[in-house]
Structure 1
């Protein structure tokens, strides 16, 4: 009112906590499993039919996913700021529906430039509808964010198990265009779940005063730099291994059945680690979980480097790597809150996504060049072990920093 005394601006109120996290977990688990399955995991299966029909090279086809990864990283910070200020309910819904529209558009394309343009748009969809904004909603609305994230990732760990054979079956039965239309129809579900199961976002004003959040200040902190370095190393190793682990294991002289079984064990081991963390609940901190997960990465790579061509020895590599992968996925979401606080969570996680863009996009090519130059994969596990050790040291640096004085911890 005019003439009233000035008042001290109040910080934005957090979204009201629901009585139970079950609806939130259900929404995010189903929505993210479908989203990652249709918008990411199914992509490689369309390579062979599109290359055969249009004569595209493997590099031309994979340029689509590279564009998506780059765009997704570039827009991660503004998307995160949007979630911080306006919430993520409608962003997840509209992003999911836009993904369905782009999948349908892919089914109608026969032009390589149009294919690339659609995948550039898919990068924007991935930034809006997948992990970053989804976890921002969980962090701001869940009663117990750590257990909620663990529960969600327990389900999403089966994404490849569900969508790789499903997409292959759809392509075999309906052709690649029909398969894309089916995936587009499935991708409508996450948006409907978001509007039906997620609570409306609480009004969020801009923070003001001495405690105002500054992304520029946050990204210069030792804690942020440590987490960013750790996640960048993990991204390089994860994406690089994802592209090369099968030929690497074949080069060791393992039978094909053993190679495929080892790779297939990654998912169950990863889910087992997440289930154990869910059961522990608040009895562990994200700092301790992150230290364990980051330390397991170089150990796994050393096991890969030193193991003979023996299935039992290489199971140790898969076990350590899958556990590290499963735990670090949760640390990326919940550990950021514990170490850096809730303030500006969306923008901070967006900045962390930017830090992993180049490692994710360059890893497959870099490892391929090493393989070509060395005449084999011999040096690769040692390189990855070194990067893993640097990542573990970087996380230890971040975990050693005191928590933000004004921020509540996870689950408080």
Structure 2
């Protein structure tokens, strides 16, 4: 019989292997299937003559498909584990990147991005976190470590994608990214634990997704994550022109935006160091209070870099922590039973805010003749998100 020390050491080694496998797979997956998308717009416009709106419609379509596919994918992970679906989803993404490199027809391009939505639903965050929650000895710490590594995705893949496009052209660059995207599937099959076999006669248990989504805690988390998704995607699309409108020098604008990643990583590193001394409820409350404060600073701050750096710090820390709360916090508040299906349902709740945010903010800018009302809209949504999370955090 193994000594307790040996059992603890083996569990820690398994968590480390799980952390590295998921972190590397997610970094590559997000880098190839999402983060580099914007780099391909200009060369595709130049060669194919497609409009920018037509090209970006592909990503919007993928986000819609991914959101609505999240529930069946999550249910599959609950029943069969996430090892195989992460592998096959990753390889589907690789195949579609390769198909994209030969694109010459707009309908075909849109069809492949609909398929890319399925690949993203199967290969990216939701199934990966379900594997961690069900397999890790310390899921919260493991997820925090994963997000610390994945925080460098844009830092790695945006320069890499730009260099590949410049050196090889956009079509061959996609083929290189497709080859890289084969790696996550191989890692999943090689390193992730095999789920225990489920007898054909095993009962499905008492979990009901229909009952779960009616719980006040679920509704609170759904409202919080929807508000956060609108703010995050909206600022991702409009932060640079909004800051430029304030009259800041271009270097200051780019610095404020560029610091989002390092501030996120610093927050996650601090959380990793704190370990079990904090709860996900507490982390979520901090993040959801920092968000409206940061948006209020954005609304009221004079066009001075020191004030806007305070906005950048508050928003980046909140955003970095919420990535962890969306994974580990759901398990802490709603439990692990049916985790894949529940997180899939929460993803559905963010579909409309994520896809509508860039367009709605653009319409406000056009109607108001500037971005003046936008920060106040974000303040209101952030307050709604904080109240919603507080409701969820009180649940037991």
TM-score (norm 1): 0.92
5+ residue gaps, structure 2, are 1-9
1:164 aligns with 2:163: no
What's the offset of the Cα at 1:91?
Answer: 0.6
- Cα distance between partner residues in 2 of 1:63 and 1:21: 39
**CA 18–347 in structure 1, closer or farther in 2 if over 3 Å, else same:** farther
Mapped to 2, the partners of 1:337 and 1:75 lie a distance apart of 20
Aligned residues of 1:18 and 1:141 also touching (Cα < 8 A):
no
The corresponding residue for 1:216 is 210
Residues 341 and 381 of structure 1: CA distance in aligned 2, closer, same or farther (over 3 Å): same
- 1:290 pairs with 2:290: no
Q: Is residue 63 from structure 1 mapped to residue 57 from structure 2 by the alignment?
A: yes
Q: What's 1:189 paired with?
A: 183
C-alpha distance in 2, partners of 1:180/1:201? 33
* Contact 1:240 1:363 survives alignment (8 Å): yes
Once the 2 structures are TM-superposed, how far is the Cα of residue 109 of structure 1 from its aligned partner? 1.0
Map of 1:26 onto structure 2: 20
Give the Cα separation in 2 of the matches to 1:176 and 1:26.
Answer: 30
Match of 1:121 among 115, 126, 130: 115
Instruction: Quote the residue 1:368 is aligned against.
Output: 362
Residue of structure 1 in register with 2:308 after alignment: 314
The whole-number CA distance in structure 2 between the counterparts of 1:24 and 1:280 is 20
Measured against aligned partners, the alpha-carbon deviations of 1:220-273 in whole angstroms (never above 9, x if no partner) come to: 000000000000000000000000000000000011111111111000000000
In 2, are the aligned partners of 1:95 and 1:128 still within 8 Å (CA)? yes
Partner of 1:399: 393
Residue correspondence of structure 1 range 124-135 to structure 2 within 5 A: 124-135=118-129
Shift of 1:208: 4.4
1:360-402, Cα deviation, whole Å (9 max, x unpaired)? 0000000000000000000000100000000000000000011
* Alignment equivalent of 1:39, drawn from 33, 37, 50: 33
Residue deviations 1:200-234, cap 9 Å, x none? 1112469748x600000000000000000000000
Find 2:320's aligned residue among 313, 318, 326. Answer: 326
Measured after TM superposition, the shift of residue 356 of structure 1 is 0.3
Q: Find the residue that maps to 1:110 and give its secondary structure.
A: coil
* Residue 327 (structure 1) shift: 0.4
1:110 partnered with 2:79: no
Match of residue 7 from structure 2: none
SS of the aligned residue for 2:169 comes to helix
**Kept in 2: contact 1:290–1:331 (CA 8 A):** yes
> Aligned equivalents of 2:263 and 2:178: distance in 1?
30
Alpha-carbon displacement from aligned partner over 1:127-152 (angstroms, at most 9, x marks no partner): 00000000000000001100100000
C-alpha displacement of 1:79: 0.3
Measure, in 2, the Cα distance between the counterparts of 1:92 and 1:200: 12
Q: 1:278 aligns with which of 272, 275, 278?
A: 272
Cα shift at 1:300: 0.7
Does residue 267 of structure 1 match 2:267? no
Runs ≥4 residues deviating over 6 A: none
Aligned match for 1:89, one of 83, 90, 93:
83
Say which structure is richer in helix.
2
Contact 1:207 1:213 in 2 (8 A): no
Answer yes or no: is the 8 Å Cα contact 1:170–1:179 preserved in 2.
yes
Count of equivalent residues? 386
Structure 2 Cα separation of the partners of residues 222 and 273 of structure 1: 29
Cα deviation for residue 20 of structure 1 reads 3.1
Task: Quote the residue 1:335 is aligned against.
Answer: 329
Do structure 1's residue 140 and structure 2's residue 134 form an aligned pair? yes
Q: Which stretches in structure 1 are left out of the alignment for 5+ residues?
A: 1-15, 403-412
The answer on 1:349 being equivalent to 2:343 is: yes
Please list the CA deviations of residues 28-47 of structure 1 after superposition, one character each: whole Å capped at 9, or x if unmatched.
Answer: 11100000000000001100
Give the Å deviation of 1:52: 1.1
Pair 1:121–1:17, CA change in 2 (3 A):
farther
CA contact (8 A) 1:339 1:399 kept: yes
Q: 1:69, 1:226 → 2: CA distance?
A: 23
Indicate the SS of the match to 1:199: coil
Asked whether the equivalents of residues 95 and 125 of structure 1 are also in contact (C-alpha less than 8 Å), the reply is yes
**Corresponding residue for residue 232 of structure 1:** 226
**C-alpha separation between the residues in 1 aligned to 2:342 and 2:254?**
37
